[in-house]
Structure 1
Amino acid sequence: MAVYTEVTDEALMEFLARYEIGTLLAFRGIAEGVENSNYALKTTGGDFILTLYEKRVNPEDLPWFLGLMEHLAAQGLSCPLPVRARDGQNLNPLAGKIAAITTFLPGVWPRRILVEHCEPLGAALAKLHLAGQGFAPTRRNGLGPDSWEPLLQKCLPQADSVQAGLGGELSAWLAGITAAWPRDLPVGHIHADLFPDNVFFLNGEISGLIDFYFACTDLYAYDVAVCLNAWCFERDFSFNITKSRALLRGYMAHRALSGAEQAALPVLAQGAAMRFLLTRLYDWLNTPEGAMVTPKDPLDYYRRLRFHLAARDASAYGL
């Protein structure tokens, strides 16, 4: 979440007139994340999130994202529910962008990840995968393996300004990852970005999953690998195998990972680390001045990637 696009009072009031959510009481920007412009919206009808879709979101994908959220919510998954305007539309123009209102979920995301967070997280991810199976439309992963080489090429001219030799290392590592990438594992709808700031906890339990704007149809086990990267490293970038075991135990209590999925975990984790390293590197080099957002250090994922490159098999993750 972030704020790239400012919304005037007049534009907001005109936009809200389309909806039946009560009278505006409060409105403020949310300065976390890197993708869309997000605002906390409070009305006499309750609390909501207003999102204006920015640079990486293809407007043609928005109906799919919102449709998936509606489907998951109907299946009992706690996720934001898009609010429809009086005319039935859940997407409307605002400040030159396409915007949507979704329900607000209570809870807070964990600033310090504990082992106790990881098993519920794994269970929630598996439930998301299972709940999505009845949603027929599909969406290609626009930030999947086929996108990594073009993204790296955009970064190579300046990559070594971030760290000496970085461009050459990433080129060599990426070639190995894409050559080993599995193509025949179970596929379905995945979140693809289930970082701690997209998972809310309340009274020790998960109260909601948010930010589905990277969701797509891809390998289930890749989604697991994204979470291993996001949840199981300590602040010194050492891998916490106890957290990994808990995450995988929670996941496999609801959806078993096949032998082939388990065997592929090292390369899937490498790919997940490479994906976030490259998008963070691109943002580090290209975030516009004045944006109300702090780019994330791409070298955080460089350090994670080095661990995964040394992993010989799934035992590195506690299996």
Structure 2
Amino acid sequence: MAVYTDISDEELSTLLARFDLGVALTFKGIAEGVENSNFLLETEKGRYILTVYEKRVREDELPYFLGLTRWLAQRGYPSATPMVDRQGQALQHVRGKPCAIFSFLPGLAVRRPTAAHCREAGEGLARLHLAGEGFSMSRANDLGQAAWAPMFDALKPAAEALKPGLSEVIDGDLERLAAAWPADLPGGIIHADYFPDNVFFDPAGRFAGAIDFYFACNDFLAYDIAVALNAWCFEPDGSFNITSGRAMLAGYEAHRPLSAAERAALPALAHGAAMRFFLTRLHDWGATPAGALVRPKDPLEYERKLAVHRSAPDLFLLGQAK
């Protein structure tokens, strides 16, 4: 989450007049994340989040994202739910940009997840995959394996500027991933951005919900686990915490056991998931607008994770004997 677009009091009042949410009492920007402009909104009837969609989110895809979060809410999955106006519409516009107002999801994200948090997060991810079953809309993963090599072609100068010699190393990774990428694993709705800042916990440390579904798509369910392993189970020194990884997988399999093929594919999927976030961070490193209340995330964090995948892929089998 971030703030790229300022909203005036008059613009906010005009927007709220379409809803039955009462008048605004407080309104402030949330300066976290990298994708959209987000605001904490408190009205006479409760607390909400106003999201203004910036350039990366295509307006024609918003019905998928908004429809998915409403579907998940109807299935009992804890996530921020889009509010609808008096005409039953969730998608709105402000300052010429699409926007939506969401229910406020209580809970806290954690900056330094423990193994117990990882287990809870794994359970939450499996519940998400199960709740997504039957959703009628579909969206391809436009940041999936087929997109990485073409994306990197335009980023090679940036990679060399970041670290001399890195371009050749990444080319080698991309070749290995193309050869090793699985072709037939169980698929469905995935979050695709299941990071600690997108997952909330209650005061007892139990999973309380997930937010930010703007990369959600249809892909291998195990790829979503791989994204989460990278995001949750690395230590600040760049090492992979296998105890946390096993805890995450155990939490996930308490609700949805993995097939043998999914377990065998985890090293390649996790390597690929690290590549995806390295590439998008490398792109954002030089593309964040001046004056935005956000700091782009360091691509070198994921370059270091790529090195771990390259040198020790067996770690990501997580000691599974099944």
- Residue 239 of structure 2 is matched in structure 1 by 238
Aligned equivalent of 2:33 = 33
C-alpha deviation, 1:180, in angstroms = 1.3
Residue by residue, what CA displacement relative to the aligned partner does 1:179-228 show, whole Å, maximum 9, x if unpaired? 21112000100000010000011121111100000000000000000000
Q: Distance in 1 between matches of 2:61 and 2:48?
A: 22
**Stretch deviating more after TM superposition (244-253 or 107-116):** 107-116
Q: What residue identity is the alignment partner of 1:124?
A: G
Give 1:317 shift: 2.2
Instruction: Name the structure 1 match of 2:304.
Output: 303
TM-score (norm 2): 0.97
Runs ≥4 residues deviating over 6 A: none
Partner of 1:275: 276
Paired with 1:150 and 1:85, the residues of 2 have a C-alpha distance of 41
Conserved? CA contact 1:277–1:302, under 8 Å: yes
Letter in 2 for 1:199: V
Contact 1:222 / 1:269 at 8 angstroms: preserved in 2? yes
Q: 1:50 to 1:84 in 2, by over 3 A?
A: same
Instruction: Supply the distance in 2 between the matched residues of 1:163 and 1:295 (Cα, whole angstroms).
Output: 17
Please tell me the residue identity of whatever aligns with 1:212.
F
Percent identity for Structure 1 against Structure 2: 55
Q: Deviations over 1:234-291 (max 9, x none)?
A: 0001110000000000001111111111010000001000000000000002112111
1:264 aligns to what SS in structure 2?
helix
Contact 1:30 1:39 in 2 (8 A): yes
Match of 1:213 in 2: 214
- List per-residue Cα deviations over 1:32-77 (Å, max 9, x = no partner): 0000010000001100000011121111110011111111111111
Unpaired segments of 5 or more residues in structure 1? none
1:315: how far off? 6.0
Q: Aligned in 2, Cα 1:97/1:105: closer, same or farther, shift over 3 Å?
A: same
In structure 2, C-alpha distance between the alignment counterparts of 1:311 and 1:18, rounded to whole Å: 55
Alignment of 1:158-237 (within 5 A): 158-203=158-203, 204-237=205-238
Maintained 8 Å contact 2:264/2:317: no
- Structure 2 stretches lacking a partner, 5+ long: none
Distance in 1 separating the partners of 2:51 and 2:12: 12
**Normalised by the size of structure 1, how large is the TM-score?**
0.98
Q: How does 1:256-295 map to 2 (within 5 A)?
A: 256-295=257-296
3-state SS of the aligned residue for 2:132?
A: helix
Q: Specify the code of the residue in structure 1 equivalent to 2:177.
A: I
Other-structure match for 1:105: 105
- State how far apart, in whole Å, the 1-side matches of 2:101 and 2:91 are: 8
Match of 2:122 in 1: 122
Note if contact 1:265-1:313 (Cα within 8 Å) is conserved in structure 2.
no
Count, aligned residues: 319
